[in-house]
């Protein structure tokens, strides 16, 4: 039975009330545009994998979020990005970690999935793979930042604006992906949850999810796989979202993470224990994307 194509994108769990209103507005616009771009692909017969790559690339290129052109710097002042994705139908996955200088890490992750026998390429190997496949370097992303936070800021202080997406297409195939500059002031070489299947993203025959927040915690609890597998057992990503929130309450402090999920019934979940986690959900038949998760002002 065919499914109704739907996509959900997020702009990071964190504290958006301290962001200036023009930045919040730019984020709202970029989220809506990304959801629209992703859904449009699926309406034309494209796959959920193509949809999430398009949606995430749009957010990476917008410079509004902590991913792609908007990535934060590590403690040396350089940008090192993580991104990954998974195809819920084939269970294939591809990712890049600590990648430097490339505007759309999610597109490199897609090629890792399609063209290599590996799941994750990191650092110089990932960069060389990207360059040999026609990607060019962005001098802005390679340049050293002057103002660098040399301490890891707490979740409520930092710009939590990693991006992620989860989608289901008309063949009922799901996909999910994530892309980030990581944590501001992180140690050079640090890898978070975003390029790790099961942690930063996960997808199977029923549901797909993408996480955001403190990568170290998301990695250890395998948040994306947890919500997807529970959704598969319960038959609803909404229900598994609720139970994940209860579970993490007993394990995590507040202000640590968020996750979006979608299932083949077109249900979605957007849960977070941070102040906010802006998201946009768009399903075929809706007039415009539903935007939520911004702080009430
Ligand atoms: N999860 C990302 C990381 O730890 C950061 C974020 O979601 O804001 O790299």
Statement: 6-292 belongs to CATH 3.30.565.10: no
What is d(CA 184, CA 151) in angstroms, rounded to the nearest whole number?
8
CA atoms within 13 A of residue 146's CA, in its CB half-sphere: 0
pTM: 0.95
pLDDT of amino acid 155: 45
For atom 4 of ligand 1, which residue has the closest CA?
215
For every residue of the chain, DSSP letters joined together read -PPPPEEEEE--SB--TTS-HHHHHHHHHHHHHHHHHHHHHHHTT--HHHHHHHHHHHHHHHSSSSSGGGPPP-TTS---EEEEEEETTT--EEEEEEE-S-S-HHHHHHHHHHHSS-SEEEHHHHHHHHHHTT----HHHHSPPS----S---TTTS----EEEEEE-TTS-EEEEEEE--STTPPTT---STTSBTTTEEE-SSEEEEEEE-HHHHHHHTHHHHHHHHHHHHT-HHHHHHHHHHHHHHHS-SSSEEEEEEETTS-EEEEESSSB--EEEEETT-SS-EEE-PPP-
Distance 70 CA to ligand 1 centre (A): 13
Residue of 176, 200, 272, 276 to test ligand 1 pocket, by largest number of atoms within 8 Å of CB: 200
For the CA of 215, the closest atom of ligand 1 is 4
One digit per residue, the tens of pLDDT, for the chain of length 297 reads 699 999 999 999 988 888 888 888 999 999 999 999 999 999 999 999 999 999 999 999 999 999 999 999 898 999 999 999 999 999 999 999 999 999 999 999 999 999 999 999 999 999 999 999 999 999 999 998 876 655 555 544 555 589 999 999 999 999 999 999 998 888 999 999 999 999 999 999 999 999 999 999 999 999 999 999 999 999 999 999 888 888 888 877 888 899 999 999 989 999 999 999 999 999 999 999 999 999 876
pLDDT of amino acid 247: 87
> Which residues lie with the beta carbon below 6 Å from any ligand 1 atom?
12, 160, 162, 180, 182-183, 192-194, 212-215, 218
What is d(CA 127, CA 135) in angstroms, rounded to the nearest whole number?
9
pLDDT of amino acid 1: 62
- Residue 147 sits at φ, ψ, to 5 deg, of -100, 110
Distance 13 CA to ligand 1 centre (A): 9
For the CA of 258, the closest atom of ligand 1 is 7
pLDDT of amino acid 160: 57
Listed by start position, the domains of the chain span 6-292
Radius of gyration of the chain (CA): 17
What is d(CA 49, CA 43) in angstroms, rounded to the nearest whole number?
13
For the CA of 182, the closest atom of ligand 1 is 9
Residue of 98, 196, 215 to test ligand 1 pocket, by largest number of atoms within 8 Å of CB: 215
């Amino acid at each position: 039975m065919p499914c109704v194509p739907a996509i959900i994108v997020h702009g990071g769990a964190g504290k958006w009330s301290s962001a200036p209103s023009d930045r919040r507005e730019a984020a709202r616009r970029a989220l809506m545009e990304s959801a629209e771009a992703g859904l449009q692909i699926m309406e034309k017969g494209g796959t959920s994998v193509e949809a999430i790559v398009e949606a995430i690339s749009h957010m990476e290129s917008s410079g509004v979020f902590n991913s792609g052109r908007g990535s934060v710097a590590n403690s040396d002042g350089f940008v090192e990005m993580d991104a990954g994705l998974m195809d819920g139908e084939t269970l294939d996955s591809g990712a890049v970690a600590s990648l430097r200088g490339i505007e759309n890490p999610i597109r490199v992750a897609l090629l890792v999935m399609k063209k290599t026998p590996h799941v994750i390429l990191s650092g110089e190997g990932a960069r060389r793979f990207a360059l040999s496949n026609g990607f060019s370097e962005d001098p802005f992303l390679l340049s050293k930042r002057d103002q660098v936070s040399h301490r890891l800021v707490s979740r409520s202080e930092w710009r939590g604006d990693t991006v992620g997406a989860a989608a289901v297409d008309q063949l009922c195939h799901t996909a999910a992906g994530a892309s980030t500059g990581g944590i501001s002031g992180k140690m050079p070489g640090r890898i978070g949850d975003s390029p790790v299947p099961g942690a930063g993203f996960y997808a199977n025959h029923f549901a797909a999810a993408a996480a955001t927040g403190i990568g170290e915690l998301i990695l250890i609890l395998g948040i994306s796989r947890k919500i997807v597998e529970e959704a598969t057992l319960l038959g609803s990503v909404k229900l598994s979202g609720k139970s994940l929130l209860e579970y993490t309450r007993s394990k995590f402090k507040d202000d640590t993470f968020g996750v979006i999920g979608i299932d083949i019934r077109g249900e979605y979940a957007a849960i977070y224990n941070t102040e906010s986690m802006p998201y946009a959900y768009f399903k075929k038949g809706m007039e415009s994307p539903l935007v939520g998760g911004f702080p009430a002002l």
